[in-house]
C-alpha cells in the first residue's frame, strides 16, 4: 500500500493518502432529518479511513434534479443538512466534496431539460425541453451559486459532474447536442457550456477552493464524443485551472455494462490512464483520479504502480465496508466485506428513488437506525444457518459484544451465496462469506459447521436467530423423478454431465444456472471475452486468473434451453443486472423459450406445449429444475413451545422470491430485536 499511502494535494487540500470515496446518490438527502443520516453515513466512512469523500449529486436547480429524491444545493434546508454532514466529517478528520449535478435529459420528471430535445430510451416518451440561450446563462449562474452555497455549507471542495451522460456531458456529445447556436456545432462549440460552468464556479469560489471535474473517459456510445474530443476537453479544463480530473465511464443508456458483477475488475482503468497520459503531457502535476470496478485496494495499489493516474476512487466498496481503507492499510484484507457488484441495494434502489443500502452491509445508509457500540447487556445468542441472513445477524451480534454461536448444517458457510459464488461473474460472493467468517472468528464467535441445532440444544441460549434458509422447490410434472432430473443445487454442487440441458424455470436462478453451464469459470478468459465482445481496450488487465473448476466443462450455448411458462427471463434479478445476464446468454446462443406449458419429462428431455397447441421435445440429457424455493424451517414450533425467544429471517421466513437484500436486512433487524 506504499503508493496509495503517499500524500497528495487536491488544490489547497492536503490529503494523507490516494484513496477517494467516490460519489454515490444515497437517497438520504431529502429525509428531512436535518442531515443526521447523511452526517452519520459520511462520518462512519471517514472514521473507516476515507480521507476525502465526494457526495452524491446535489442539484444546482430544480430542473437539474435526477428525480423527486434529489435536493437543490442552494435551498436553505440543503445547506443546513450538509453543514451538519461537513461538520461530522471534519470532526472525524476528513474532507467532504460536494458533487454539483445537473441530470439534463436523464431527469425522471416533466422538468427534464437538455441541449436538444433528444429523449433517451428509458424516458417513456418524455421529451426533454431544449434549453434556450437564456436558460443556459441561468444554469451557468445556478452552478456558480451552488458552488458558493457548498462553500457556505462547509464543504472542502466541489466536483462538477460532467460524466455518465448528464447535462455537461450531453453538451459535449454530438448525439445530444444538435444546437445551431453558439452552444452547439463543432466540438469546440460543444465544450463551451461545460467550460463556462467551470469558469463561473471557479469565479464563485475563488482560486483557493478546490474544484474537480468528473469527465467521461469514454461514453461507450456509438457516434458520441471521440477520444480526441475527450482529451481536448480535459486539456481545456486543465488550462482553465481545474484542480483535479476524475474519470467516469459510460452513459446510463450505453449497451456496454460498466458496473455489474460480470464486468471484469478494473475494466475501465485503461481509459483513465489514456486520459491521464494525455493530460500529463501538458500538465504533469495535475491529479487524474482513476475509478470504476475497483473493489480491492490491492488492485488500486496496482493501478498506481502502472504510473498513469494519481489516485483511485472507489464508491460501492465503501458501502459494503466503511472500514475498507483502515483494514487495507493494516493488512487485514481477510476482514474486508467486499462489494459483490450486485447493485441490488444501491444502484437498483436509487433508480426507483429509494434510499440505498448494501446487500452485504445492511447497516449502510441506516447508521442512525442501527448504531454501533458494544452492548452493556451481553447475551448468548444462537444463529441457526450460515447463509447471508444468518451471517448478517451473527456479524452484527458478535461485533457488538454478544456471545454468538453459529450453527451451520453444511460443511461450509454461505448458503445460497455459496451456490451463487460458483456462477461465473459472481465469484466475489465467496469473498463476503469468507470475510464474515473471519470477522466472526476475530470477534470470538463460535462457528459450528456440520452441526444441526435442535430446540433442546438451543434452550441454553438467551435468544435464537433462525436463518436456516431454503431448499429447492420440486415440480409437479410427470417424469420429475427420473434420474437425469436435478435440482439447481445438485447441478451446481455436482456439476452437469456433458450433453444437452433443459432448464425448467427462467427466473434469476434459471438464468444463473445457464450461465454456470455455458460461460467459462476462469475470470481471465471471461474478461478477455468481455473485451472482445464489446471492442474494448485493456478491460482484462486486472482480471484474476483462477483455475477452472474441475467439474465444469463450458458447453456451447445451443446445448442449453431455458424454459419459462410466462414472465420475463431473469425476473427477480435487479434492473441493472437482468439485461446484462440475459444478454450474455443470448450472446452465447442459449435458447430461451417462454409462453409454454410443461407436458412431461422424458429420458430425452422435456415435452412442452406451445400456445398454439403444438408439442415440442426440448432436448435434455439432463433436466435441471429451477422452479423457486421452499422455506427450510422446522424449528419455530419447538422454540415457541419451549419459550425460547427467537426471530425467523430470510428464506426460512419467506422463500417466495430470491431476495438476499431482504434476507440480510432481516438478519440485522433480528440481531437488534433479540
Q: Binding residue for ligand SF4 (CB under 6 A) from 164, 343, 647, 659?
A: 343
**Identity of the residue, 317 or 505, whose beta carbon is nearer to ligand SF4 in the bound complex:** 317
Q: Which stretch binds ligand SF4 (CB under 6 A): 72-80, 92-100, 344-352, 576-584?
A: 344-352
- CA-nearest of 54, 614, 25 to 311 is 54
Please report whether residue 574 would count as binding ligand SF4 according to CB under 6 A. Answer: no
Cβ at position 665, least distance to ligand SF4 in Å: 11
Copy the grid coordinates of residue 599.
407436458
In the complex with ligand SF4, the residue whose CB is nearer, 170 or 344, is: 344
Site for ligand SF4 in 602-661 (CB under 6 A): none
Residue 345 touches ligand SF4, criterion: CB under 6 A:
yes
The one catalytic residue among 70, 82, 166, 488: 166
Partners of 162 in beta bridges: 215
Number of residues near ligand SF4 (by CB under 6 A): 14
Q: Which residue(s) pair with 617 in the sheet?
A: 607
- Taking the least distance from each CB to ligand SF4, the nearer of 131 and 339 is 339
Nine-digit cell at 526? 471471461
> Smaller CB distance to ligand SF4: residue 60 or 300?
300
Q: Which range touches ligand SF4 (CB under 6 A), out of 130-138, 268-276, 339-347, 403-411?
A: 339-347
CB-CB contact of 571 with 542 (8 Å): no
> 280-319 mask for ligand SF4 (x: CB under 6 A)?
------------------------------------x--x
CB 467 within 8 Å of CB 667: yes
Give the residue, chosen from 73, 342, 392, 485, that forms a contact with ligand SF4 under the rule CB under 6 A: 342
Residue 520 to residue 531: CA distance in whole angstroms: 14
Among 340, 393, 536, 601, interactor with ligand SF4 by CB under 6 A? 340
Distance set, CA 406 to CA 14, 360, 410 (Å): 45, 18, 12
To the nearest whole angstrom, how small is the minimum distance from the Cβ of residue 348 to ligand SF4?
Answer: 8
Rounded Cα gap, residues 118 and 665, in angstroms: 40
User: Residue 280 is placed in which grid cell?
Assistant: 500529463
Where does this chain touch ligand SF4 (CB under 6 A) — which range of 65-73, 203-211, 343-351, 485-493? 343-351
344 is a site residue for ligand SF4 (CB under 6 A) = yes
Residue showing cell 467486499:
338
**Least CB distance to ligand SF4 at residue 664 (A):** 9
Place of cell 429525509: 31
Rounded CA-CA distance 192/297 in Å is: 37
Within 8 A by CB and 6+ apart from 619, the residues are 500, 502, 559, 561, 604, 605
The C-alpha cell of 14 is what? 492536503
With vertex at residue 268, the alpha carbon angle to CA 264 and CA 271, rounded to the nearest 5 degrees, is: 150
Minimum CB distance to ligand SF4, residue 637 (Å): 34
Residue 359 within binding range of ligand SF4, rule CB under 6 A: yes
Beta strands in 402-537 (DSSP E): 403-408, 446-449, 463-466, 470-472, 485-487, 501-504
Binding mask 476-515 for ligand SF4 (x = CB under 6 A): ----------------------------------------
Residues 6+ positions from 407 with CB-CB distance below 8 Å: 382, 383, 384, 385, 386, 448, 451, 452, 453
Dihedral of the alpha carbons of 188, 217, 320, 264, in degrees to the nearest 10? 160
Measured CA distances, 439 to 148, 331, 332, 412, 507 (Å): 44, 14, 10, 16, 33
Interaction between residue 140 and ligand SF4 (CB under 6 A)? no
Rounded to a whole number of angstroms, the minimum distance from the CB of residue 296 to ligand SF4 is 13
Q: Point out which span in 160-168, 220-228, 232-240, 341-349 binds ligand SF4 (CB under 6 A).
A: 341-349
Nearest-angstrom CA–CA distance, 88 and 83: 9
Rule CB under 6 A: say whether 21 interacts with ligand SF4: no
Interaction of residue 341 with ligand SF4, rule CB under 6 A: yes
Instruction: Say how far apart CA 456 and CA 15 lie, in whole Å.
Output: 56
Which one of residues 37, 160, 200, 346 is an interface residue with ligand SF4 (CB under 6 A)?
A: 346
Secondary structure class of 392 (helix, strand, coil): helix
Task: Report the residue number, 98 or 660, with the smaller CB distance to ligand SF4.
Answer: 660
Q: Is 339 in the site for ligand SF4 (CB under 6 A)?
A: yes
Distance, CA of 248 to CA of 412 (rounded, Å): 39
Rounded CA separation 556/560 (Å): 8
Q: From the CB of 491, what's the least distance to ligand SF4, in Å?
A: 25
Name residues contacting ligand SF4, limited to 443-462 (CB under 6 A). Answer: none
166 counts as catalytic? yes
Cα within 13 Å of Cα(597), Cβ side:
7
Minimum CB separation of residue 260 from ligand SF4 in Å reads: 9
In the complex with ligand SF4, which residue's Cβ is closer, 74 or 344?
A: 344
Nearer to ligand SF4, 105 or 316 (CB): 316
Q: Which three cell numbers stand for residue 660?
A: 438476499
Among 311, 320, 458, 624, binds ligand SF4 (CB under 6 A): 320
358 binds ligand SF4 (CB under 6 A): yes
Q: How far is the CB of 582 from ligand SF4 (least distance, A)?
A: 19
Q: Is residue 436 at the binding interface for ligand SF4, with CB under 6 A as the rule?
A: no
Q: How far is the CB of 341 from ligand SF4 (least distance, A)?
A: 5
- State the DSSP code for 580: H
Q: Which residues are designated catalytic?
A: 166
By CB under 6 A, name the binding residues for ligand SF4: 316, 319-320, 339-346, 358-360
Amino acid at each position: 500500500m506504499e503508493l496509495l499511502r503517499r500524500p497528495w494535494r487536491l488544490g489547497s487540500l492536503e490529503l494523507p493518502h490516494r484513496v477517494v470515496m467516490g460519489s454515490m446518490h444515497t437517497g438520504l438527502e431529502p429525509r428531512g432529518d436535518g442531515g443526521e443520516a447523511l452526517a452519520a453515513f459520511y462520518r462512519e466512512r471517514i472514521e473507516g479511513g476515507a480521507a476525502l469523500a465526494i457526495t452524491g449529486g446535489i442539484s444546482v436547480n430544480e430542473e437539474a434534479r435526477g428525480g423527486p429524491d434529489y435536493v437543490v444545493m442552494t435551498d436553505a434546508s440543503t445547506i443546513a443538512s450538509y453543514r451538519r454532514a461537513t461538520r461530522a466529517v471534519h470532526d472525524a478528520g476528513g474532507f467532504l466534496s460536494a458533487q454539483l449535478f445537473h441530470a439534463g435529459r436523464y431527469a425522471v420528471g416533466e422538468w427534464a431539460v437538455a441541449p436538444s430535445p433528444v429523449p433517451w430510451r428509458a424516458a417513456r416518451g418524455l421529451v426533454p425541453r431544449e434549453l434556450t440561450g437564456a436558460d443556459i446563462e441561468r444554469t451557468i449562474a445556478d452552478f456558480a451559486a451552488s458552488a458558493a452555497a457548498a462553500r457556505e455549507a462547509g464543504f472542502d471542495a466541489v466536483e462538477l459532474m460532467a460524466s455518465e451522460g448528464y447535462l455537461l456531458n450531453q453538451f459535449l456529445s454530438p448525439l445530444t447536442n444538435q444546437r445551431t447556436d453558439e452552444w452547439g456545432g463543432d466540438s469546440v462549440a460543444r465544450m463551451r457550456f461545460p467550460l463556462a460552468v467551470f469558469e463561473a464556479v471557479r469565479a464563485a469560489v475563488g482560486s483557493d477552493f478546490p474544484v474537480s471535474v468528473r469527465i467521461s473517459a469514454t461514453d461507450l456510445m456509438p457516434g458520441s464524443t471521440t477520444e480526441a474530443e475527450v482529451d481536448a476537453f480535459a486539456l481545456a479544463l486543465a488550462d482553465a485551472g481545474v484542480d483535479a480530473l476524475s474519470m467516469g465511464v459510460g452513459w446510463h443508456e450505453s449497451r456496454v455494462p460498466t458496473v455489474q458483477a460480470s464486468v471484469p475488475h478494473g475494466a475501465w482503468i485503461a481509459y483513465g490512464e489514456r486520459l491521464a497520459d494525455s493530460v500529463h503531457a501538458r500538465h504533469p502535476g495535475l491529479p487524474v483520479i482513476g475509478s470504476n470496478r475497483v473493489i480491492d485496494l490491492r488492485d488500486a495499489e496496482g493501478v498506481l504502480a502502472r504510473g498513469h493516474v494519481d489516485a483511485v476512487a472507489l464508491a460501492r466498496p465503501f458501502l459494503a465496508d466503511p472500514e475498507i481503507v483502515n483494514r487495507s492499510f493494516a493488512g487485514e484484507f481477510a476482514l474486508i466485506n467486499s462489494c459483490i457488484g450486485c447493485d441490488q441495494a444501491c444502484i437498483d434502489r436509487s433508480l426507483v428513488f429509494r434510499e440505498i443500502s448494501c446487500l452485504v452491509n445492511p447497516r449502510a445508509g441506516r447508521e442512525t437506525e442501527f448504531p454501533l457500540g458494544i452492548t452493556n447487556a451481553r447475551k448468548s445468542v444462537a444463529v441457526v444457518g450460515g447463509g447471508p441472513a444468518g451471517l448478517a445477524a451473527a456479524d452484527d451480534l458478535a461485533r457488538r459484544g454478544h456471545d454468538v454461536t453459529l450453527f451451520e448444517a453444511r460443511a461450509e458457510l454461505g448458503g445460497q451465496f455459496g451456490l451463487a459464488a460458483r456462477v461465473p461473474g459472481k465469484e466475489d460472493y465467496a469473498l463476503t462469506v469468507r470475510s464474515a467468517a473471519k470477522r466472526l472468528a476475530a470477534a470470538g464467535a463460535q462457528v459450528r459447521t456440520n452441526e444441526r441445532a435442535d430446540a433442546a440444544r438451543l434452550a441454553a441460549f438467551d435468544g435464537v436467530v433462525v436463518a436456516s434458509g431454503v431448499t429447492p422447490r420440486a415440480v409437479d410434472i410427470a417424469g420429475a423423478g427420473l434420474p437425469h432430473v436435478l435440482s439447481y443445487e445438485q447441478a451446481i454442487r455436482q456439476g452437469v454431465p456433458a450433453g444437452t440441458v433443459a432448464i425448467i424455470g427462467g427466473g434469476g436462478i434459471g438464468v444463473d444456472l445457464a450461465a454456470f453451464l455455458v460461460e467459462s469459470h476462469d475470470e481471465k478468459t471471461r474478461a478477455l471475452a468481455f473485451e472482445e465482445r464489446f471492442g474494448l481496450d485493456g478491460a482484462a488487465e486486472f482480471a484474476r486468473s483462477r483455475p477452472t473448476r474441475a467439474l465444469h466443462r463450458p458447453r456451447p450455448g445451443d446445448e442449453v434451453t431455458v424454459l419459462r411458462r410466462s414472465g420475463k427471463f431473469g425476473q427477480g434479478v435487479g434492473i441493472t443486472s437482468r439485461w446484462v445476464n440475459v444478454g450474455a446468454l443470448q450472446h452465447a446462443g442459449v435458447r430461451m423459450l417462454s409462453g409454454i406449458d410443461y407436458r412431461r419429462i422424458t429420458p430425452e428431455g422435456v415435452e412442452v406445449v406451445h400456445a398454439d397447441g403444438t408439442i415440442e421435445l426440448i432436448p435434455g440429457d439432463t433436466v435441471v429444475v429451477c422452479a423457486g424455493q421452499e422455506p427450510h424451517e422446522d424449528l419455530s414450533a419447538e422454540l415457541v413451545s419451549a419459550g425460547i425467544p427467537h426471530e425467523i429471517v430470510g428464506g426460512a421466513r419467506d422463500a417466495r422470491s430470491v431476495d438476499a437484500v431482504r434476507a440480510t436486512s432481516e438478519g440485522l433487524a433480528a440481531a437488534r430485536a433479540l
